[in-house]
Structure 1
Amino acid sequence: MQENNQKETKNTYNPKEIEDKFYKIWEENGFFEIEGNKEIQKEGKKFCIMLPPPNVTGSLHIGHALNHTLIDIITRYKRMDGYKTLWQAGLDHAGIATQNVVEKQLLEQGIKKEDLGREEFVKKVWEWKEKSGGTILKQMRKLGSSPAWSRSRFTMDEGLQESVKEAFVELYNKGHIVQGKYLVNWCTHDGALSDIEVDYKENNGKLYYLRYFLEDSKEFIVVATTRPETYFGDTAVMVNPNDEKYKHLIGKNVILPIINRKVKIIADLHVDMEFGTGAVKVTPAHDVNDYEVGKRHNLEQIVAFDKYGILNENATEFQGLERLEAREIIIKKLESLGFVEKIEDYKNQVGHCYRCGNVVEPYISKQWFLKKEVVKSAIDKINKDESNFYPPQWKNNYNAWMKELRDWCISRQLWWGHKIPVFYCKCKHQWASKTTPTNCPKCGGNEIHQDPDVLDTWFSSALWPFSTLGWGNGDIGKNTLWNESDLREFYPNSLMITGFDILFFWVARMLMMGEFFLKELPFPDIYLHALVRDEHGQKMSKSKGNVVDPLNLIDTYSADVLRFTLAILCAQGRDVRMSQSQLEISKNFTNKLYNATNFLLLNCEQFPNLQDIEIKTELGKYMLEVFSKTTKEVRSNLEQYRFNDGANTLYRYLWGEFCDWGIELSKANKDSIIELGAIFKESMLLLHPYMPFISEYLWHRLNKSTLEDSKESIMVKNYPSINYTDSKNYQLFELILDSIVSIRRLKTTIDLANQKIPKVYILPNAKLESKQQELFIKYVSKLSKTEEIEIVESKVSNCIADITEKVQSLIPTDSIDLSQAINKLNRQKEKTQKEIDKLNNMLKNAKFVQNAPKEVLETNQKALDEQNGKLERINEELQKLQA
């Protein structure tokens, strides 16, 4: 094996040969499952986290990669720390998106969904789901994600369909779900949308000023509107009661152009006297504010177009035109008849469907709503800190949004999704039922039908923290991996990690549903990570051409490199700026670890477990204490979800403290190699949650084993927990390191960086015992390339010095030739002085100063200041060498 290890050191680490192979072994051996770490589970310690279920249509993007990396880090950590662990995976049926995908595929074959009918179309969707859906779950494996795959759920699987019915029926029977004609956000392609499914974008539109003539008069009032096509639904004109110019008109009637409908001029404080002319048209069926005004003034609600955005009979001659296409046609007709006062350019915010991008219309429609009162208890418990947000400022955002909460429109005009379990009888009776009835419970008749709408996708995903654990799954869950015993064990979940952008879409709704049905919030901790942007801080988009494909990054760099990069950049509350340079740093880090392993294996064939040996050498004890401090720090960071701090701590320790110092120091004491190898081997367990593949691979090399043969994985071994201190020894090695750095710096100053020098005096700030002096001299002389180290108690004359907090290093000037360093500094001084003279001449030239742009003058002045500072430092160095 020694020969094999030495042979392997000639090759570089190839993650492509390792990652797929290792992942397959992990999964086949069930290490990700609840019982995967059974041998190390500790009584009463349980951890459960839910994967934010990606859309069944989705592919892994960089936002998923960040989210899944953070979840995997904390899950692997908890699994190794002895927790009975469930990372629940699954997919969302994504009603709108999935229906759109299948509709487009059918249209390519010349088939409309209406040609098939609802039942056959839904069959086609299920067929597509089985063949093509869930690609992202396969892609997650490339990232090294470790959920309990055997327990994956789908928001439309049999059990979750039962859960959704259970929830709906209970809410319905308690009066929390109601039906009625409401003004909703309406997409002419996708139907009703909730408030948070509308994306508002700045629009360069027009403000149209229309003349509405008073009844039996040539006098007119001018109203301003951005949507003239809706005037067919006007049922009033509104002014502010405090507006002097309109007071005499309040109560009078105007006649709507072309259609000649009579409407009244009303007064309401809602009107902004500064907008337009201070008079506005009121269209209760097509505007959110007008809808509220209409209720206050008991105005009629007249709908001007149908659910597809086609103008209806109320638009008279314009019937049949699409609303947006009709706008200019209507305006031209109004202009020709003298009803347009003027048209101005106008910027405003216009809502768009978050799925298809269509302009959203406020639209009167019969829908199902979940009343906002349901959320009250969840809000109260959040403000009693029964769930904590990370970063904490998101609690304020949550509260601010909840104060403005409206009833949630939960019905969608789709064919794919959870059909609303409400039934209607010919006798006009309406009821909700978990099972499909054959007879009406009121009249006994059998002429019944189910509501045609489906539930908003977010309704089923709001139940995700407990429906996946068996809640409401009925008999279906009894003989499955998931059943109500899981609910008792894993609810509440331990933690939610998701992007801040779905705080209101999803997190707030899970809090509401969890508290309502189980009387307990679904998770005590909520970690909201920010967005992944490009290295310039720009949001990634296809139009900008700055989208990063995580699968390409994995192929180019490795999953470990991508994971570590995302983690180290992910500071709480700050966007992640993805950069090529950080990826390269992480790649170099993996090479550093690989090379450190190669060095250790050149000196020893196999390394023991840290727990199985006694650390005896002073260097071993020092590195053990460094490892102990690092372990505590990484644990603390992970417990507080400070993933980037944990990554930085690991990087600093493994690269700097172990690979740079530990290995270098071991060259002065070969007796410590086995001890350092055992510590490094244990360090791979510490690193594992962040970089699972390379840590597993290197651990096995150091252990003289293979994952393939042993089926023994570090992912189900105990996470390091060590408390070792030897302060006297630790302080000695800190002094040793400080002295080496000091001497190296001093040698660089005199241009002898890589050369061996005859003698250095060391003046430490603490007294060293004789044995300590012996160790000190041994390590410092070896690593600083100094023939003789003499420890002194006072400063020695005729020396050049370097002073740190812990030590003064003194090189006697009579033992070295300083002429080369002095000549080099004099050349730098001469060059710097010439640059200073040049800049001074420019800045003293009155003509140049008068004509040069301000920024040029500022740049030159800054350059002059820098050169003066450089000259001062050169003179200081010369003074030291010539003293």
Structure 2
Amino acid sequence: MQNDSGKNPQEEQNSKAQNTYQPKEVESAYYKFCEEAGYFEINGNQGIQKAGKRFCIMLPPPNVTGSLHIGHALNHTLIDIIVRYKRMDGFKTLWQPGLDHAGIATQNVVEKQLLAQGIKKEELGREKFIQKVWEWKEKSGGMILNQMRKLGSSPAWSRARFTMDTGLQNAVKEAFVKLYDEGLIIQGKYMVNWCTHDGALSDVEVEYKENKGKLYYLRYFLKDSKDCVVVATTRPETYFGDSAVMVNPSDSRFSHLVGKKVILPLLNREIPIIADSHVDMEFGTGAVKVTPAHDTNDYEVGKRHNLEQIVVFDKYGILNENAGEFAGIERLEAREQIIKRLESLGFVEKIEDYQNKTGHCYRCGNIVEPYISKQWFLKKEAAQKAIAKINANESNFFPAQWKNNYNAWMRELRDWCISRQLWWGHRIPVFYCDSCGGQFASVESPKVCKHCGSEAVRQDSDVLDTWFSSALWPFSTLGFGNGKWGEGEVWQTTDLEEFYPNSLLITGFDILFFWVARMLMMGEHFLSKLPYPDIYLHALVRDEFGNKMSKSKGNIVDPLEKIEEYSADVLRFTLAILCAQGRDVKLVPNQLEISKNFTNKLYNACNFLLLNEKKFPNLSELKGIKTPLGKYLAQLLSQNITEVRGYLESYRFNDGASTLYRFLWGEFCDWGIELNKADKDSIVELGAIFKEAMKLLHPFMPFISDYLWHKLDGSTLEQSGSIMVQEYPNFAYQDTENFATFELILDSIVSIRRAKATIDLANQKIAKAYVNARIPESMRELFVRYVCKLAKVESLEIVEAKIPNCIVDITEKLETYLPTAEIDLAPIIARLSKQAQKTQKEIDKLEGMLKNEKFLANAPKNVLETNQQALEEQRQKLAKITKELEALRG
């Protein structure tokens, strides 16, 4: 493969930047090569696939209107880590990509574009409008899928699906018709959540927000009396639909009024006073109005007391003829006018400020109204088997506590309103006959009525809730709807047999009820199995202070900007290392810098290795590991492979990233390369170990790991292919005595360096040092050689007792002694004594301030805390200096 310069990606990198890593060029070139080579597809790793190993994961389909935000970046990073790991581990792997048609959002986008041209959708008609939506989708939709490539996501792009694809439309029709025929989908007039802009909403599509409103106390006069009952309401515009006034049967204040009637202001309509235990005697006056057509609780009360349902505004929120003189006014705009009119006639007792929570449409933000409307519903009984199987642990939640949240919500489950008053979406496959009045559901569009044969057949005008088609995603993408029903009414296709149930779901906790619960229900109902054995719910990405990101706060982090600034590898590794199960991700800018420094560390380590050898073999190609340092690092690699594998299998992504960081930066790049100074013969083994470590790192940082692996391999992508289709490390090595000796070597070097630092000889070579440690006789020569070289000691003696007249440093494993006989300690003691005096003066000053009553009375709290902290730091500093002086003076 060649890029625009005529060179292959590896040659381009070698010629462009020998000394600095250029992530932009590497990432674009390597991604293009891997995609074109077909590595992301289900057989992209065919050379290392192992019989019977299958892995399938679905991309939570982003909205076709969407663009990559930081939540997507986290989700896609975690999925890609596990996918690349499984692919390298020999699994036939399907990461299924795709887009959701996003009914409300997409229709709004296209409607706005048309309105900007002075065109209303009604002027076009349904068919032409839908055509315009498809045109928009082909031109502008799906931008997010290309943005995923920037992040390094590796789904099977050739299999990308769209929830309005023909195959998926077939799946939706099949699912609907089967549920309809089973009596689980019903139509009826029910109270629903209603947005005057977007129509019917399900319960989970309503967002409740704090609202600073008013509580209006209205006088309802008793029939044929000057006495009145005062009722409190937050929505006076609905009083035109009142069917009763209600009191609690236990409320003695009103017991004498039950059964009497009041007259509605302005309308002069009589309504009864009823008693019902639903009333909260502490709210308002204890008497409330009952509006069965416009309040969820009143709707239930109305059914119990056989009250009239009076609708006072239409689907657009415009008051109708039942509102008398206010007919034709939008319900919220009418509120102030209604109150002014009632006040002028003496019907308002008082108005108070009142704070409550009001429902808002999750899409447009409009205040949601309870509204009686004829809709289609999926009965809650459809979910019962899925609930039972979850509680039989047939699916596991990570973190485990989400199972409790799932059960809590499912216990309160209501019938799901699945119809939406839109044009864009899956049109409900129900047909009506205008001749016989019959109704039936059909996958195919019928030309005649199945009941009477008439051609006067029309289809329901509503579409299905977007979440209905998304609930089928784990199997609609695998051919459900395009195959056949087999024995036991299980849908049969090759892909379903191979990849259903899926292996894992990774998604945000915030769509547990929108999406996850519904997929569990649909998967179990149609295929008799839950779609996922494991469900990993990650938390939100917040800013560095823990605040939720929002445009209004100005704290939005654009992942594409961070990729441009740092690289995809840096962003991915940062998100992974911060993503602990059950905790929000606080995106601290400093962590991005740390991850960037990590890539530089790896790059420099690779360059160091290449200073000594032109290329390195794979670890499996070595004929045994022979050098002591090679054996030590091989055992460290072996341990870290076991740890990282364990963390990936249990979805502890942050622990996996932390382990890799510790091993590669600290154990290999710092210690391993430094220890090589004492054993130059180990360089080939170090290079082979580092190459293997790049495979271990690859799922987290796919680009730099691939690039460095090829540099060390001395090959190009075309010659050896990508690291992503190399086998994931499964290397085991152990040499207990050698390993323990190196652990003591490291401890000794640190201890001697620390002791030298106390006498200002940190970077100087000293003549003699002693180590009190248990070193096997066979390892002593090795031990002395490494410690002398790296701790800068001419002579090292291993002892079994304390040596007098020495600077002493103690660790958990050993003690080191530096003899003071040949060291002039006078200037060192003088320097430390001067430091002690200076520190004591600072302590005296701070103590004086903190004992001063005037200062304590007037100083701000934060100043007092700062001074108290400073005092504690100075005391600790003095204690350390004192300890060093005592050691020097003997």
TM-score, reference length from structure 2: 0.97
Partner of 2:797: 790
Partner of 2:3: none
Report the 3-state secondary structure (helix = DSSP H, G, I; strand = E; otherwise coil) of the residue aligned with 1:183: strand
Q: What is the one-letter code of the residue matched to 1:108?
A: A
Distance 1:242 1:811 in 2: 88
Distance 2:864 2:575 in 1: 41
Two-structure CA RMSD over aligned residues (Å): 1.7
Partner of 1:673: 683
CA separation of 1:483/1:416 partners in 2, compared to 1, >3 Å: closer, same or farther? farther
Q: Check the 8 A contact 1:568/1:648 in 2, yes or no.
A: yes
Q: How does 1:729-878 map to 2 (within 5 A)?
A: 729-764=738-773, 766-769=774-777, 771-849=778-856, 857=864, 859-878=866-885
**Alignment partner for residue 301 of structure 1, among 283, 297, 309?**
309
Q: Check the 8 A contact 1:25/1:711 in 2, yes or no.
A: no
Partner of 2:645: 635
Question: Which digits, 9 at most, give the CA deviation of each residue in 1:564-603, with x for residues without a partner?
Answer: 0000000000000111100000000000000000000000
Distance 2:215 2:140 in 1: 47
Q: How does 1:324-403 map to 2 (within 5 A)?
A: 324-403=332-411
Q: Check the 8 A contact 2:55/2:86 in 1, yes or no.
A: yes
Q: Structure 2: state its 5+ residue gaps.
A: 1-9, 486-490
Matched, 1:224 2:232: yes
CA separation of 1:743/1:284 partners in 2, compared to 1, >3 Å: closer, same or farther? same
Q: What is the one-letter code of the residue matched to 1:727?
A: T
Q: Give the fraction of aligned pairs with identical amino acids, expressed as a percent.
A: 74
Distance 2:64 2:661 in 1: 36
Q: What is the one-letter code of the residue matched to 1:643?
A: F
Q: Check the 8 A contact 1:759/1:815 in 2, yes or no.
A: no
**Alignment partner for residue 569 of structure 1, among 578, 588, 599?**
578
Shift of 1:840: 3.0
Distance 1:101 1:5 in 2: 43
Q: How does 1:169-248 map to 2 (within 5 A)?
A: 169-248=177-256
Partner of 1:725: 734
Q: How does 1:596-607 map to 2 (within 5 A)?
A: 596-607=605-616
Question: After the TM superposition, which segments of 4 or more aligned residues of structure 1 sit over 6 Å from their partners?
Answer: 2-9
Distance 2:863 2:657 in 1: 42
Shift of 1:528: 0.2
Partner of 1:110: 118
**Alignment partner for residue 506 of structure 1, among 515, 535, 547?**
515
Q: What is the one-letter code of the residue matched to 2:660?
A: L
Shift of 1:779: 0.7
Report the 3-state secondary structure (helix = DSSP H, G, I; strand = E; otherwise coil) of the residue aligned with 1:814: coil
Partner of 1:101: 109
Shift of 1:863: 3.6
Distance 1:141 1:856 in 2: 50
**Alignment partner for residue 17 of structure 1, among 11, 14, 25?**
25
Shift of 1:711: 5.5
Q: What is the one-letter code of the residue matched to 1:297?
A: H
Q: What is the one-letter code of the residue matched to 1:633?
A: E
Distance 2:619 2:124 in 1: 67
Partner of 2:631: 621
Shift of 1:873: 2.0
Q: Check the 8 A contact 2:483/2:493 in 1, yes or no.
A: no
Report the 3-state secondary structure (helix = DSSP H, G, I; strand = E; otherwise coil) of the residue aligned with 1:811: strand
Question: Which digits, 9 at most, give the CA deviation of each residue in 1:793-846, with x for residues without a partner?
Answer: 211111011011111110000122323332221121011111122223334445
Q: What is the one-letter code of the residue matched to 1:635?
A: R
Report the 3-state secondary structure (helix = DSSP H, G, I; strand = E; otherwise coil) of the residue aligned with 1:365: strand
TM-score, reference length from structure 1: 0.97
Matched, 1:552 2:556: no
CA separation of 1:711/1:452 partners in 2, compared to 1, >3 Å: closer, same or farther? farther
Report the 3-state secondary structure (helix = DSSP H, G, I; strand = E; otherwise coil) of the residue aligned with 2:41: coil
Q: What is the one-letter code of the residue matched to 1:588?
A: N
CA separation of 1:128/1:861 partners in 2, compared to 1, >3 Å: closer, same or farther? closer
CA separation of 1:408/1:866 partners in 2, compared to 1, >3 Å: closer, same or farther? same
Partner of 1:433: 442
CA separation of 1:860/1:559 partners in 2, compared to 1, >3 Å: closer, same or farther? closer
Distance 1:854 1:593 in 2: 46
Partner of 1:713: 722
Distance 2:693 2:138 in 1: 42
Distance 1:403 1:26 in 2: 47
Distance 2:151 2:550 in 1: 22
Distance 2:526 2:114 in 1: 40
Q: Check the 8 A contact 1:5/1:701 in 2, yes or no.
A: no
Partner of 2:656: 646
**Alignment partner for residue 36 of structure 1, among 28, 37, 44?**
44
CA separation of 1:560/1:653 partners in 2, compared to 1, >3 Å: closer, same or farther? same
Q: Structure 1: state its 5+ residue gaps.
A: 477-481
Q: Check the 8 A contact 1:6/1:602 in 2, yes or no.
A: no
Partner of 1:444: 453
Q: What is the one-letter code of the residue matched to 1:699?
A: W
Q: Check the 8 A contact 2:741/2:775 in 1, yes or no.
A: no
Distance 1:330 1:547 in 2: 42
Distance 1:591 1:844 in 2: 50
CA separation of 1:868/1:705 partners in 2, compared to 1, >3 Å: closer, same or farther? same
Distance 2:656 2:858 in 1: 54
Distance 1:153 1:122 in 2: 19
Question: Which digits, 9 at most, give the CA deviation of each residue in 1:290-329, with x for residues without a partner?
Answer: 1111111111111000000000010011000000000000
Distance 2:725 2:92 in 1: 11
Distance 2:281 2:259 in 1: 18
CA separation of 1:508/1:6 partners in 2, compared to 1, >3 Å: closer, same or farther? closer
Partner of 2:549: 540
Distance 1:518 1:588 in 2: 49
Report the 3-state secondary structure (helix = DSSP H, G, I; strand = E; otherwise coil) of the residue aligned with 1:168: helix
Distance 1:167 1:603 in 2: 64
